[in-house]
Chain A
Amino acid sequence: MRLPITAWASITHRASGVFIFVGMAVFLWALDASLRSPESYASLQECLTSPLAKFVIWAVLAGVIYHSLAGVKHLIMDFGIGESMPGGVLGARLVIGLSAVLIVLAGVWIW
């Protein structure tokens, strides 16, 4: 699909929002296990060493990172900053570029 970068930034904001709505179940489950008892805390640590668990946490984290940056872009534009065609393109590029860097860093942190 040939779409302007601003459209991709917008669609990804929506898609990541839908994705992390589901992903929050994983975070709540992890928070539950981490606070329930010393035993469940230890088994959570054990579980989080598996590549599949690491990937799931990283995927949800990636969604949160992108969604957050795109959200901050919205707030900045609400203040009237960058409300133009070049401003919108620059904002979309910054959000995509910055989140790509942060998502890679999150991956390095997890692995």
Chain B
Amino acid sequence: MVTAVTSFGRSGLSDWLVQRVSGVILLAYFLFMGYAVATGGDYASWKALFAQTWVKVFSLMALLSLAAHAWIGLWSVLTDYLTERLMGTTGNVLRITLQILIVLVLFVYVVWGVQILWGY
């Protein structure tokens, strides 16, 4: 219960599904970005690509997927190694502290990404 309270969807089944759907979205986005960078021209054409609504929406989708995917993935890692069973109370304190830090970083990524996509 102690560890489930900090999971993404509060349910293992929900997290399992979100992890897979977000993973597929991220893979599609990385392939798209790889292609875009490989075939990219100058600043004007790069800027024009990201001016299109579908690219902004796709990028935001990938950004939100990244936040969910990293939350679930890092939760799985932390709840495996930094535990009360392995480290005593220190495990709980360390795990919760790191989780708060991770969520903060992911929040910054999302806000930063929105700023990049709609701010320039």
Contact = CB atoms under 8 A, between A and B. Distances in A.
Interface of A: 14, 17-18, 21, 24-25, 28, 31-32, 34-38, 41-42, 64, 68, 71-72, 74-75, 78, 109
A32 B105 CA distance: 17
Given A41-B43, A68-B27, A68-B30, A28 B113 contact: yes
A82 to B, nearest CB: 17
Contact of B50 (A17, A35, A37, A68): A35
A21 B47 contact: no
Interface string B20-60: 10011001001000000010000100110010000000000
Contacts of A32: 112, 116
Interface residues of B, number: 22
Contacts, number: 51
B112 A28 contact: yes
Given A24-B109, A68-B30, A71-B27, A36 B120 contact: yes
Interface of B: 20, 23-24, 27, 30, 38, 43, 46-47, 50, 66, 70, 73-74, 77, 102, 105, 109, 112-113, 116, 120
B46 A17 contact: no
Q: Secondary structure of the B side of the interface?
A: helix
B70 A21 contact: yes
Given A18-B74, A28-B109, A35-B50, 5 more contacts: A14-B77, A17-B77, A32-B116, A41-B46, A109-B38
30 contacts: A14-B73, A17-B73, A17-B77, A18-B74, A21-B70, A21-B73, A21-B102, A21-B105, A24-B109, A25-B109, A28-B109, A28-B112, A28-B116, A31-B113, A31-B116, A32-B112, A34-B46, A35-B116, A35-B120, A37-B120, A38-B43, A41-B43, A64-B30, A68-B30, A71-B27, A72-B27, A74-B23, A75-B20, A78-B20, A109-B38
